[in-house]
Structure 1
């Protein structure tokens, strides 16, 4: 699946939005990839996650025991990708602002792949890597549907993306005038209680 194929699925689902968006990282962007609109459609989600599973298989990173995703955004792609890889899917969730594995036990010496939805700065991925390593597991890679950083995000392990889509992201005090004229919208999930 090509980058254009991935973006076309987002467009078809109404998930490629233009305007003035406040990203989970706090950065501002004229483009927002609203994966929730894609995840409404099981056929579109399955197509993306099957392609991501194929990418993970072809990455030659060795055997792994399970997929772990950060809640909330990674739950659906993590589960669906794990289904195509025939491994269990579990997740971390925030407790007092820190990702924790709350509902599951980690197998001893587990080897895991972290599956994300969209990576911008890599913060959620790095936090997930840390949480899993703190439990004694080995994180082999992070895999995501779209890498908004264009390959620049450092997640602490290899990053496998189905598509790289470099989208401008600005500090709040560096927004272009045409974007600043639009009302900002914060569609992400980080910071929700």
Structure 2
């Protein structure tokens, strides 16, 4: 699958000045909701991601995603893996498991996002389910922004800013290597351009 072309065809590869959920700024933004609004495409992406995970031979009992951005990707991945799906969400800024979802002791959970930048939200979700007795076996995403290292990728990064557990694999369909900046170092800010936040958090 040509993941880059899929994002372009859906009008989901945006160019401008964006504030990412990680707090960093970028001249590019991946709007996965535009890709996932097509159920057929969402299913195909979920199946492709599931194939990578199945080939790795890790056991997965459940997929968990942080709301809101990861829900559609996580659900399609769980459907392709034929396992149950749950999600965490923020309550007063704190990631929480609600809505009657329960964790079984030592349940093997894969945490899935639509996009992994630093992996902060995915790591928060992992910590929530780990505290409830789960065993997190890895992370997954449709696309990896190139700060964390993807499973079996030819691109390897320093990963200093990656917040994911480095001992666990990150499965993704593609690396999108866009330059990102801390706000105080952002050249677009110095040009007087205002960063917009097209994602789900804080909108």
Do they fold alike, i.e. is TM over 0.5?
Answer: yes
Alignment of 1:9 with 2:18, yes or no, is no
CA distance in 1, matches of 2:94, 2:85: 20
CA distance in 2, matches of 1:180, 1:54: 44
- Determine helix, strand or coil for the equivalent of 1:143: strand
Q: Spell out the pairing of 1:29-178 with structure 2 (5 A cutoff).
A: 29-61=26-58, 63-103=59-99, 104-150=101-147, 151=149, 152=159, 153-156=162-165, 157-177=168-188
Please report the TM-score for the alignment, with normalisation by the length of structure 1.
0.91
Give per-residue Cα distances to partners, 1:73-96, cap 9 Å, x unaligned: 110011111111111111011122
CA distance in 2, matches of 1:96, 1:130: 17
CA distance in 1, matches of 2:9, 2:193: 24
Decide which moves more: 39-48 or 122-131.
39-48
Whether contact under 8 Å (1:19, 1:179) holds in the other structure is no
Give per-residue Cα distances to partners, 1:153-193, cap 9 Å, x unaligned: 3411321111111111111121225983433211122234x
Paired residues in the alignment total: 188
Runs of 4+ in structure 1 displaced over 3 angstroms?
177-183
Please report the TM-score for the alignment, with normalisation by the length of structure 2.
0.87
Gaps of 5+ in 1: none
Whether contact under 8 Å (1:19, 1:182) holds in the other structure is no
* Distance change (3 Å), C-alpha of 1:24 and 1:177: closer
Gaps of 5+ in 2: 150-158
CA distance in 2, matches of 1:180, 1:87: 48
